[in-house]
């Protein structure tokens, strides 16, 4: 078996763990200590999910703000691959938790790289850094590719910018096999509940089941390049299987607005949304019933907005032979269906 290390229990961590286990890896995950269980996305991967008995997936308590524990875990596991997916990854919340975001997302990456060096694994380990399309922020060209200049527009983007360059520095200074995956937005039914796509699919599911009448969103006209997380974790793995370490943009190349995500989600449950009003007074009304289901609330706007992101993954298509499989429409349907099932079984979920 090939040991690997997955650095969190997030949406991406859970799909990556599944992917690596299927390939015969022994997977080690780092989990932050919490007073409530935060392993919901990976419980099905235990050898015995009821008793949390581990098989080829082993979990370790750790934190990207604690360099001692990172050294201890890496020295004990001696992994062949490390995937750093751990981050405070909510862009809007990064404005409220700017220092913490810098510590975890920026300096946390350095701590992990330094731990590899301290453990003497520079020549044996391959390192994947979860980089982000938020680096492009106020976009300097359309579409964005590996050579597009960065212009982050949030504390999250700025922290990830430091992480990006410190990975490049370790690659060039110490010859570490280290890559940045510049992933554009990727969603799934496992997405965190306070991310806009999941907020929409959850709310639409509740409205469908009669558990909710209306919900609020921020900028309806923000445009994003949305793919499925399951497709994107395959690209992470592929980047570490190449002969030379390189950075890659991973995206679908398609752009859709938040407004469109709302419309398609409602369409899937048989409702047509008609928009009325402008800016903060805009509402989404159900054509069939006349009920208002969507309102706009300024508290969900970012202080500095990222208006448009569209990735060009030509390099990944050519060098990794990677391409997205799940379409935008399929993604929306899968998320709404999963949340309808979730809310039907547990309205308080």
d(CA 95, CA 305): 12
**Angstrom distance (rounded) from CA 279 to CA 298:** 9
Bridge-partner residues for 308, per DSSP? 223
Q: Can you tell me the distance from the alpha carbon of 252 to that of 322, in angstroms, rounded to the nearest whole number?
A: 11
Catalytic residue among 134, 187, 263, 334: 134
Separation of alpha carbons 241 and 327, rounded Å: 26
- CA distances, 288 to each of 114, 146, 332 (Å): 59, 45, 21
On whether the CB atoms of residues 177 and 129 are closer than 8 A, the answer is: no
132, 148, 197, 252: which one is catalytic? 132
Find the Cα–Cα–Cα–Cα dihedral 178, 118, 169, 70, rounded to 10°: 60
132 included as an active-site residue? yes
Q: Which residues pair with 286 in a beta bridge?
A: 273
* Residues 252, 265: Cα–Cα separation, whole Å: 19
Q: How far apart are CA 19 and CA 17, in angstroms?
A: 5
Rg (CA), the chain: 20
Token pair 């979730």: residue: 342
Please tell me which residue in 15, 83, 128, 156 is annotated as part of the active site. Answer: 156
Would you state the structure tokens that stand for residue 232, as one six-digit string? 């994107």
Q: Which residue has the tokens 């690209």?
A: 235
List the catalytic residues: 132, 134, 156
């Amino acid at each position: 078996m090939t040991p690997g290390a997955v650095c969190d229990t997030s949406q991406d961590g859970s799909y990556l763990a599944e992917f690596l286990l299927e390939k015969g890896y022994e997977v080690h995950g780092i989990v932050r200590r919490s007073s409530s269980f935060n392993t919901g996305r990976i419980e099905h991967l235990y050898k015995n999910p009821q008793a949390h008995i581990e098989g080829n997936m082993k979990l370790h308590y750790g934190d990207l703000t604690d360099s001692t524990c990172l050294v201890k875990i890496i020295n004990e596991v001696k992994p062949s691959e490390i995937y750093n997916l751990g981050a405070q990854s909510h862009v809007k919340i990064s404005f409220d938790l700017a220092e913490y975001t810098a510590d975890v997302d920026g300096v946390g990456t350095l701590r992990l790289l330094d731990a590899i060096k301290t453990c003497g694994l520079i020549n044996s380990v391959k390192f994947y850094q979860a980089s982000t399309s938020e680096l492009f922020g106020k976009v300097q060209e359309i579409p964005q590719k590996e050579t597009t200049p960065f212009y982050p527009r949030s504390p999250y983007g700025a922290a990830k910018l430091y992480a990006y360059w410190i990975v490049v520095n370790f690659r060039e200074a110490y010859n570490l096999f280290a890559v940045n995956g510049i992933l554009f937005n990727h969603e799934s039914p496992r997405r965190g509940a306070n991310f806009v796509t999941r907020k929409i699919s959850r709310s639409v599911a509740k409205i469908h089941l009669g558990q909710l009448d209306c919900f609020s969103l921020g900028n309806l006209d923000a445009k994003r390049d949305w793919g499925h997380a399951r497709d994107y974790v395959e690209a992470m793995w592929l980047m570490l299987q190449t002969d030379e370490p390189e950075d890659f943009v991973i995206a679908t190349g398609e752009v859709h607005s938040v407004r469109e995500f709302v419309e398609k989600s409602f369409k899937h449950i048989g409702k047509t949304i008609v928009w009325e009003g402008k800016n903060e007074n805009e509402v989404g009304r159900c054509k069939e019933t006349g009920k208002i289901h969507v309102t706009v609330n300024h508290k969900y706007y970012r202080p500095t907005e990222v208006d448009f992101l569209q990735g060009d993954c030509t390099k990944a298509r050519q060098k990794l032979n990677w391409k997205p499989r799940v379409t935008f429409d399929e993604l929306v349907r899968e998320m709404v269906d999963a949340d309808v099932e979730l809310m039907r079984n547990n309205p308080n979920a």
